[in-house]
Amino acid sequence: MIQCLNPDCLFQNLSGYTKLCQKCGNKLLLGDRYGAQKIIGQGGFGRTFLAIDEYKPSKPPCVIKQFYPQFQGTSSIQKAAELFKLEAVRLEQLGKHSQIPELLAYFSQDERQYLVQEFIDGENLAEALESKGYFSETQIRNLLNNLLPVFEFIHSRQVIHRDIKPENIILRQDGQLVLVDFGAAKYATQTALAVTGTRIGTAGYTAPEQANGKAIHASDIYSLGVTCLCLLTEVEPIDLFDDSEFEWVWREHLKTSVSSELGQILDKMIQPAIKKRYQSATEVLQDTGTQSPQLSPQPSPQVSPPPPDSMKSARGVDYTRLRDLLATGEWKEADRETFKVMLKAARREKEGWFDTNSIENFPCDDLRTIDQLW
């Protein structure tokens, strides 16, 4: 069967009909290549389909993500569309890692955005928790040792995931854990960290600073710690934290004993105060007694810089130098240049700093250009 991608149709067509939908006449193959099989997920801003790649002889499975906002006219649609596009950018840059899905394609068809990514065969940890029950200490240690190197990889490339939770970690058939859903991810340049960003993430798993729009690398560590607590206890985060005493009470919900060593590690991962929390995945690995594997010596995939005519600015800012610095990998100088051009776009060059008004009214064209360049 091939499912129609038209949101108003979604008709299941017989496999022999690979060109047009029998019901609505919509083109069935996405990009003349990818055929949707069934819906495997949906939310307020889109649907996810299991699909097959018709171009390859083995017709391997893949995943189609369709951006289709259900709530037309809301102010958040534009931001959601930007995040959808940025997810494709993140996957292109990070997807060569064996524990991150690879981006296969990204384009528009019938005035809708789509990205196609590698299919990960396995169940996410929320499904594993439901089907097999609570995790043991050994399983939690294995999870940390398996996944923290992936955190090292994405954080070394200045990316913060911002939505770590059991649903976004898949246990692949070979036993490896795969980190998915980079739709909420952002770059962590010094300039970006200094500006309050979008309040994004899943309630209960989100670190306090991230809830205030100030996500840092340690925010992902916090979310991973909360994830471990939920897997150990089979209890939602909201019930593991005592608001009246402002402290975690996860030990009261344990299904089996946990060593004091692991308990101390988890306690430090979920510290609300940033300075008391682990600052990096490497620090956590050191305390678990696991030597961090060397990051791949191969250079990161180089993404071609955008041409000058795509670097839009509502304030006439020239982004050529920033583009060139990023293209040559001069990150520190590029970060300084980013701060300069942001001040110019905000018309705060004389002051040398941003106030609330300049942040709230920062031109969208310039923000998109800066984000695209980085």
Positions annotated as catalytic residues are 163
CB 202 within 8 A of CB 165: yes
CB 13 within 8 A of CB 3: yes
Q: How far is CA 153 from the centre of its chain?
A: 13
Instruction: In whole angstroms, give the CA distance from residue 187 to residue 335.
Output: 12
Ranges of H-type helices in 255-363: 260-269, 281-288, 320-327, 331-345, 356-360
CB 37 within 8 A of CB 52: yes
Instruction: In whole angstroms, give the CA distance from residue 337 to residue 328.
Output: 14
- Using CA atoms, how far residue 164 sits from 87, 140, 218, 222, 328, in Å, is 15, 15, 12, 9, 32
Rg for the chain, CA atoms, rounded? 22
CB 184 within 8 A of CB 327: no
Q: Pairing relation of β-strands 169-172 and 122-124? A: antiparallel
What DSSP designation does 318 have? -
- Scan for tokens 């292109």, then name that residue: 92
All residues at 6 or more sequence positions from 338 whose CB lies less than 8 Å from its CB, including other chains: 189, 191, 322, 370, 374
